[in-house]
Amino acid sequence: MKPELSPTLIRRRLTSLFPAELIEEIAYERDVVQRHQTIDITMLAWTLIMGFAVDGEARTIAGFQRAYSAATNQTVARSSFYDRFTPALAALMSDLLEHALEEVAVPHTIAPRFELFREVLIADATVFRLHRLLSEFPATHSDQSGAKLHLVHNATTQSLAPFQLTDERTQESSQLQTGSWLRGRLLLFDLGFYSFRRFALIEENGGFFLTRLKSNANPLIVGERRKWRGCAISLPGRRLQDVLGDLTRELIDVTVEITFKRRPYAGKQSTDTMEFRVVGVRNEDTDDYHLYVTNLPDEFTPKQVAALYGLRWEVELLFRELKSLYGLEKFQTSDPAIVELLVVAALLTLVVSRALLGVFQELFPETIFPRERWAKTFRSLAQLILEDLSQSFGHPPPNLSELMFRDARQPEKSRLLLSERVTKAFMRRSSA
C-alpha cells in the first residue's frame, strides 16, 4: 500500500534537521543577532540554504534579499541586509553544516559484497572561478582568481565529510590526511591523490584503496593471482610495461612490488617496498588495458574492481550538481569571507536536498529517484519550500502585489530611465 504523503512531510524533515531553537542558539553563541533584531535569523539561515536553489542566475546578496523578502513578506533595506554578511554569520553557517553532515544519511544501494567495508569514500576536488580581484585565491593563470573545493563523498550514506576550501594552486594530495579513520573503509581517488606512500599508509591503517595506475608506472610483477588456460605468458619477475604489449588476455590480475620513500624523520628518509594488487581490464575499442592499483582482496574479480572504480563518477555528478544547479561558479563578490560563506551555503543546499531524498527513499524503497532529476525538482520547488517554512515560523503568506511593486519600482528618484533622460535633454534644448 502506497504511504500517504502528508502536506507537512518536507517541513517536518527540514525543521528536524535544523530546528529553529538550534539556529537561534548558535546565532547567540556566535553573536550574530544581538545587534540585528529586525531580521529573523532562522529565516536568514534558511534563505541562504535554499537561496542557492531559488536564484538560478547569480549568487548575489541582492538575490538572497529578494528570496528572503518573498518568503517572509518583510521589507528590509538593502544596506541593512548586506550588513548581515559577517564572519559571525559565516561561522553560524559552518556550524550548521557540521551538524548536518552528522545527521544526514540516505539509504544506499551498494551491492552486498561491499558490506565488507564500513563505508565507501570518494576523494576529489573541483575548481571554480572567482572575481579576478580576489588575490587571496590565486589561480594557475596570473590574471585570474580561482578556488578549489576539496571533498570526501561518502557513497555509502550519500553524504559529505568535512571539506576544505583553498586557492586553485593548492595540490589535492595535500588536503587528504591518511590515518586510523580509514580503518575498514574503502577510499576511491584519482591520480591527483596518487602516492605510493599513501597506498602504504592506508594499508597500514587497516583501510582499502582503489585508483588508476599511472601510465608510466612500471612495477615489478612478483606473482599472478589467477591461473590462465593454455600456454599463458609467465609474468612474475618481469616489469609490467615490458609485457603489456605481448598480452592478449582479457584480464590482468597480478601482485606487484612497489618501492617508495617514507616521510623524512630526524633528517633522514628511508626507502621501503610493499606489495599491492594491479588489475587490468582490456578495452576492446582502444585495444589496451585500463589498469588499477589496489589492496582489495581476491574475492573482488578484476571486472568488479573496474566497476567499483566507476563509483568515482558519483563525486563528479555531485560537483556538476553544485555548479550547474546551485551556481557554485557564479559568485559575484570580491570579498573572500563572503566567498567562504557562500561555499558553505551551497554545500548546505546539497545536504538539505539529500536529506529530503532520504525521506522519499525510505517511504518508497521500490521507487527510483535519479539524482539529477531529483536535484532539478528540488530546485524548481525551492522558493515554495522556503515560503512554507516561513509560514510555519509565523510569517504571513507573501503579498504578491506588494512584492512586485517593491522589487520592480525605480529604487532611486535621482536615477532616470533612458526615456526620461532623452525627454529631459530635448526639454533643455527647447528652452534654450
DSSP, collapsed to helix, strand or coil, labels residue 342 as helix
Give the model's pLDDT for residue 273: 92
Q: Are 142 and 167 in contact (CB under 8 A)?
A: no
Q: In whole angstroms, what is the distance from residue 390 CA to residue 34 CA? A: 21
Phi, psi of 144 (to 5 degrees): -130, 165
Give the model's pLDDT for residue 2: 61
Q: In whole angstroms, what is the distance from residue 274 CA to residue 292 CA? A: 16
Give the model's pLDDT for residue 47: 92
Q: How far is CA 399 from the centre of its chain?
A: 36
pLDDT in tens, the chain (432 residues): 566 788 899 999 999 999 999 999 999 998 887 554 688 999 999 999 987 776 555 578 888 888 898 899 888 888 888 888 888 999 999 999 988 877 765 445 455 555 678 888 999 999 988 877 788 888 888 778 888 999 998 888 777 877 899 999 999 999 998 999 999 999 999 999 999 999 999 999 999 999 999 999 999 999 999 877 656 788 899 999 999 988 888 899 999 999 888 877 777 778 889 999 999 999 877 888 999 999 999 989 999 999 889 888 888 888 888 888 877 776 777 788 888 888 888 889 888 998 898 889 889 988 999 888 998 899 889 889 999 999 999 988 877 787 677 667 665 555 555 556 556 666 665 555
Instruction: Please report, for residues 405, 412, 420, 422, 429, the alpha-carbon distance to residue 416 in angstroms, rounded to integers and kept in the order given.
Output: 18, 8, 6, 10, 18
Q: Which of 16, 23, 21, 28 is nearest to 47 (CA)?
A: 23
Give the model's pLDDT for residue 101: 79
Instruction: Please report, for residues 242, 250, 291, 428, the alpha-carbon distance to residue 280 in angstroms, rounded to integers and kept in the order given.
Output: 15, 8, 4, 81
DSSP, collapsed to helix, strand or coil, labels residue 347 as helix
